[in-house]
Amino acid sequence: MADVTITRTGLPAEAGQVSSLQRLMRRKSTIAFIMTLPLLLVIFTLVAYPAFYSLHLATLNKSMVRFVGLGNFEFLFGRETFWLVVYQSCLFAVTAVIFKAIIGFTVAHFVHNIPSKGQRKWRGMLLVPWVIPPAMSTLAWLWLFDPSYSAFNWLLAHVGVAPVSWTGNTHWARFSVILVNIWVGAPFFMIMYLAALKSVPEQLYEASEIDGANWWQRIWYITLPMMRNIISITALFSLIVTFANFDIVRVLTGGGPLDSTHLFATWAFRVGIESGDIPLGACVSLFMVPILAVAATLILRDIGKRGNEA
């Protein structure tokens, strides 16, 4: 009798559970969550966990046995090299992004005006610097800038110009790393801007032409306003990637001469891995976060504002 009672009371409850599970599984949001779960796990393992771990590391002393709170950050503020790295990182990222945007915009216009038959070839060729792994292409640049055997110096010598110490002089070294970054990154801007250009309705240009607008007015009043969201997003994305750059500086100058080309990532590696001070290295790398967060907030807020206006 008791068994029967249990069965009777249990059955409806079990049936209810199954049906609610089934209902849950039928919901689109559940399926979406399950399908994104592998990606979320990857992000958690490779992004979230290391990020929190580096936060933890940044609060430890050099031998990683004692909690020092914000002591490492305080220590960094007193270092001359740290402020040099802050300056160099900002100079590197801002200059490179501006030039990449200008070059990308200009080249996108040229490519846009090429008849569609031959355009694919040009698009493919212009993307080459962006698709080659930067560590490899920078090696080629290293040989071009080689302290003793620079191909550029060889060319300059033919026109009677004295050799330039591309990676041995502070200013030229900064110029060199920025130049290579522009070379690598400009095609990305070009392809983004080209896509944006193609989406600008042709009728707007036709109407402006009827109104007598010149080339500059068409760019200023039609092209740029229509592209501004893509310009902002591309600039933000590039700013983040450029700021966090490692390979170009590492291969080309190693941060030298006199630490004048170090970025946060390369200096963090020098301090953390090569000099055996992992907490300080983690601390250096974390400094990118607030700077990039401010830049991202400003740019995204602007995009949001424009979106509301629209």
Partner 1 sequence: MSKRASKLSRRRFIANTALASTALIAAPYVRGANAAGKLSIGFWDHWVPGANNVTKTLVEEWAAKEKVDVQIDFITSQANKLRLTIAAEAVARSGHDVLALASWWPNEYADKLEPVDDVMAPLIKLNGAVNDTVKYLGQINGKWVAVPATFGSQIKGPCSRIDLMKQHAGIDVQAMYPAGAKPNADNWTLETFLKAAEGCHKGGVPFGIGVGITSDSVDTIGALFHAFGAQLVDAKGNITAKSDPVRQSLDYYKQLMAFLPPDVPAWDDASNNKWLIAGKGALIMNPPSAWAVAKRDAPKVAEQLWTHGFPVGPKGRYAPYIPQFWGIWNFSKNKPAAKSLIARLSQPDAIEKMVVASNGYDLPAYANMTELKTWAEEGPPKGTLYHYPNPYNHMVLSIGGTPAPHAIAYQMYSQGLMTKLAVRHFQGEAMEKTLDYAVKELEGYTRT
Q: Least separation, in Å, of the C-beta of 275 and partner 1? A: 5
List residues bridging with 67 in a β-sheet: 60
| 17, 20, 45, 63: which one binds partner 1 (CB under 8 A) | 63
Task: Identify which of 190, 188, 189 has the alpha carbon closest to the alpha carbon of residue 130.
Answer: 188
State the minimum distance, in angstroms, from the CB of residue 172 to partner 1: 9
Least distance CB 178 / partner 1 (angstroms): 16
Q: Which residues of 192-225 are buried (b: 16+ CB within 10 A; e: fewer)?
A: bbbebbeebeeebeeeeeeeebeeeebeeebbee
Q: Which of residues 232-271 bind partner 1 (CB under 8 A)?
A: 253-259, 270
71 or 129: CB nearest partner 1: 71
How far apart are alpha carbons 267 and 248 in whole angstroms?
A: 13
Asked if 85 contacts 264 with a C-beta cutoff of 8 angstroms, the reply is yes
In angstroms, how far is the first alpha carbon of the chain from the final one? 72
CA distance 239 to 90: 10
Binding part of the chain for partner 1, among 41-49, 141-149, 188-196, 300-308 by CB under 8 A, reads 141-149
Contact map string, positions 19 to 58, toward partner 1, x by CB under 8 A: ----------------------------------------
Measured from the CB atom, the residue of 286 and 295 that comes closer to partner 1 is 286
106 versus 170: smaller Cβ distance to partner 1: 170
CA gyration radius, the chain: 27
Given a contact cutoff of 8 angstroms between Cβ atoms, the answer to whether 147 and 168 are in contact is yes
Which residue in the set 133, 274, 294, 300 belongs to the binding site for partner 1 (CB under 8 A)? 274
Of 39 and 162, nearer to partner 1 (C-beta) is 162
Residue 149 found at the interface with partner 1 (CB under 8 A): yes
173 lines the binding site for partner 1 (CB under 8 A)? yes
Site for partner 1 in 95-124 (CB under 8 A): none
Beta carbon of residue 227, minimum distance to partner 1 (angstroms, whole number): 40
Cα–Cα dist 116/263, whole Å: 41
Residue of 23, 27, 79, 306 that binds partner 1 (CB under 8 A):
79
- CA 297 vs CA 14, 55, 302: distances in Å: 50, 22, 8
| Shortest spacing between CB 34 and partner 1, in angstroms | 32
- Residue 67 — φ and ψ, nearest 5°? -80, 130
How many CB atoms lie under 10 A from the CB of residue 60?
Answer: 20
| Residue 119 neighbours by CB distance under 10 Å | 14
Binder of partner 1 out of 69, 124, 225, 276 (CB under 8 A): 276
Q: Is 69 in the site for partner 1 (CB under 8 A)?
A: no
State the residues that interact with partner 1 by CB under 8 A. Answer: 61-63, 75, 78-81, 147-149, 165-168, 173, 253-259, 270, 273-278
